[in-house]
Amino acid sequence: MNARARLFTRLVAAIGLAVVLAGCLPPAGRLFRTSLPTDSYRPLPVVLGDETGLVVRIEPGPPVASAPDTAVRGDPADPNAFVVTWLGGPCESDAALSLARSGARYALRLEVHDAFGSCPAVGIERNLYVRTSAPISADSIDLSGTESR
C-alpha cells in the first residue's frame, strides 16, 4: 500500500472513531440518572441532560394504557411532570436525553444506544417520568432523535 492510501485509510479510521465517540458523550447540562426496569431483561440506564434548569428528578414512569409509541405525555395529576414513552428492545445498552429551550418551545432529544451482538425481536415499553420545578406543557415539547445507534 502506498503512502497516500495509508493516509486515506488512517483518515477514514479517525473519522469513524470520532463519530463513535461523539455518540457516547453524555448530554449537556445538569445530569439526572435512573434505570428503567423490565420483567425479563436487564434494566436500561438512562441519563437526562437538563439545559433548562427546570428538571428536579427523573424516574421510571407508569405504563401506558395502549400500545406505546414515541411521545411526550403530560401527567394529568401533576402539571410539573411529563412522561416520555418509546418502544425499545432488549439489546439497548443505554439511553441519553437532553432537554433545552428552543425559543418559546422545548427541544427534547432522545438517543438510544444498542449493544453489539445479535438481538431477539422483542419490543419493550419504555416510560421515563420527568418532574420539573415549573409546568411544561407536553404540547410545547418537540421530541426528536429516537432512532437507535
Torsions phi, psi for 46 (to 5 deg): -130, 135
88 assigned to some structural domain: yes
Say what the pLDDT of residue 58 is: 98
pLDDT in tens, 94-148: 999 999 999 999 999 999 998 776 777 788 899 999 999 999 999 999 999 865 5
Q: What is the dihedral of CA 44, 102, 70, 109, to 10 degrees?
A: -30
pLDDT at position 48 is 98
3-state SS of the chain: helix, strand, coil percent to 5?
Answer: 15, 50, 35
Q: What is the DSSP letter of 76?
A: T
User: Does 18 reside within a domain?
Assistant: no
Residue span of the structural domain in which 71 resides: 27-144
> Is residue 75 included in any domain, yes or no?
yes
In a domain, 50, yes or no: yes
Residue 80 domain-assigned?
yes
11 lies in a domain? no
| Residue 13 located in a structural domain | no
**pLDDT tens-digit readout, 19-65:** 444 445 556 789 999 999 988 888 999 999 999 999 999 999 988 77
Count of structural domains, the chain? 1
